Structure 1
Amino acid sequence: MKLVTVILLGILAALQYRLWLGKNSLPDYWQLQKEVAHQRESNEKLARRNALLYADIKNLHAGEDALEERARNEIGLIKKGEVFFRIVPMKPPTPEDSSGD
């Protein structure tokens, strides 16, 4: 009877060791769960970004308004007959400018 108890306690100890410290143990499982959650968040952000890009592509294919807006904002194009004004903010004077040297 003592031998069976010792054997069963040994098996229990071995299983507990594997559960807490061995390969694919509970801490490893918890770490992988955190990584999966982080990856899901990243995938959701990328899916939203892709949806915006697909909507932008659809707008560019559908009409000239979106294409014209993009050309004006990103490339700086203007229509024929329009006048382009560029307003440059004044640079505030620095102490070196007023030294008089």
Structure 2
Amino acid sequence: MRLITLALAALLLLIQYPLWLGKGGWLRVADLESQVAVAQKKNDELKSRNAKLDSEVRDLKDGTGAVEERARFELSMIKQNEIYIQILGKGQAQPQPQAAAATPNP
């Protein structure tokens, strides 16, 4: 009787091995599912970045508003007959006047 019990226990362990540690086992499936979740998260981030870049490209191609906004904020450009005012906070250094902004001679 004892021999049969040991044989059945050994067979049970042999059957369980592929279920847990085999190629299609639960541990492998859980690992692959976590890898898929990470890849999907990265894909979602890249899709949102691509959508943002696509809309920015369309704005730059179609309208002048986006080009004007970039010129103002990135290149500090102003329109003709427009006054530029900069407000400094406490502790900020006062910018040096440019040569073009010098007072004209009377």
> Which TM-score applies when normalising by structure 1?
0.69
Secondary structure at the counterpart of residue 59 of structure 1: helix
CA–CA distance in structure 1, aligned partners of residues 53 and 67 of structure 2:
14
Identify the residue that residue 36 of structure 1 maps to in structure 2: 36
Q: Quick check: 49-58 or 37-46, which moved more?
A: 37-46
Identify the residue that residue 86 of structure 1 maps to in structure 2: 86
> Which TM-score applies when normalising by structure 2?
0.66
Cα deviation per residue 1:8-30 (whole Å; 9 max; x = unaligned)? Answer: 87555323112213455311210
CA–CA distance in structure 2, aligned partners of residues 14 and 75 of structure 1:
71
Secondary structure at the counterpart of residue 83 of structure 1: coil
CA–CA distance in structure 1, aligned partners of residues 84 and 65 of structure 2:
19
Q: How many residue pairs were aligned? A: 87
Could you list the runs of 5+ residues in structure 1 that have no partner in the other structure? 92-101
Moved over 4 A (4+): 8-12
How do 1:2-81 and structure 2 match up within 5 A?
6=7, 12-81=12-81
CA–CA distance in structure 2, aligned partners of residues 39 and 11 of structure 1:
39
Could you list the runs of 5+ residues in structure 2 that have no partner in the other structure? 92-106
Aligned residues with identical type, % of pairs: 36
CA–CA distance in structure 2, aligned partners of residues 46 and 17 of structure 1:
39
CA–CA distance in structure 1, aligned partners of residues 35 and 76 of structure 2:
43
